[in-house]
A = this chain, B = another copy of it.
């Protein structure tokens, strides 16, 4: 459990990893899995032509993947064209599964996703975790995980790994929660509290949310900026299909980008940070609601009912977001900006002012702003899929587990 499961690095020309024939085999197994996974049922010949290997080579690769339970033979393809019909191959629906878990402020959720990307089992427990110590929370989570694993087992699936999304900053060891303000956790090592029978990783929920967007979003480009608002305003930068983490894992912090340099003081020491204008507390206050008792969910409700104070507050937040995103778009030139998490639900009232501000300030270099369709499901799905991706990226590594 040293790094997030889905971030196995191939190792470039400067790397120390030797290149042997075993490595070549592993990478070609991964190529076959990726191809079949991405392009639906495919014959051996079709796979071969797509990845550039010969039919003979693909045959032996496929044999190995079928023996490992990662691929399935669906039977002969319906003959439409001339020539002998191929035998359709598909990713197995009865092999390894990725277990995703989410520790939310108000709930715990676990799900199992098979290699085809389908959710095959899930479990939720409602109830606040704010201020509760880690031990009982993780105890309950582990119970839910075992429940989901048992359900998945009933469908012929076995767990390849567990990924846990947490509303806070996670160290690069992928197990220590540095701080999670909404849970009031600080420097907690979750390693010993997680089910020991599964290889596990922990990561920030915004990170998993952005990966979900990358893997499951419609038409999401390989370079984009994901903006969500769970704790503070979390951004995530995805470059070339990889999540940018930064040297200390802090990358993607959008909440403390200066919007008005002489604005009100912020707890971070700066002035006029984005959070002062578009953070949960600030928006609630601007809408005339008391931050203590109300939550973000209420805003969408009120705005939909036509509450002018709320709408005004959201317009202001959109403008502030537009200013902060102008800087980010200038710096990164992303293919898109995606609003996710709680912001997705508020998009109808945020977008107009946000887009106006952004378009005005980035004339000619503008960038599409889209809304995630995953919404609050993002982190959980991203976690589960991170395990699935790890299997697709290195089928050989996982086949040995069983």
Contacts and interface: CB of A to CB of B under 8 A. Distances in A.
Contacts of A30: 13
A269 B360 contact: yes
A84 interface: no
A82 interface: no
A119 B363 CA distance: 42
A239 B241 CA distance: 13
Main secondary structure of the interface of A (DSSP, over half): loop
A257 B327 contact: yes
Interface residues of A, number: 73
A247 B221 contact: yes
A250 to B, nearest CB: 4
How many protomers of this protein does the assembly include? Answer: 2
A16 B52 contact: yes
A244 B364 CA distance: 20
Interface stretch (A100-108, A149-157, A258-266, A310-318): A258-266
A335 interface: yes
Interface centre among A12, A251, A326, A360 (most CB of B within 10 A): A12
Contacts of A273: 361
A192 interface: no
Interface in A13-52: 13-21, 23-24, 27-28, 30-31, 34, 38, 50-52
A256 interface: yes
11 contacts: A13-B392, A19-B24, A21-B24, A223-B247, A247-B334, A250-B365, A251-B331, A252-B333, A257-B326, A258-B327, A270-B363
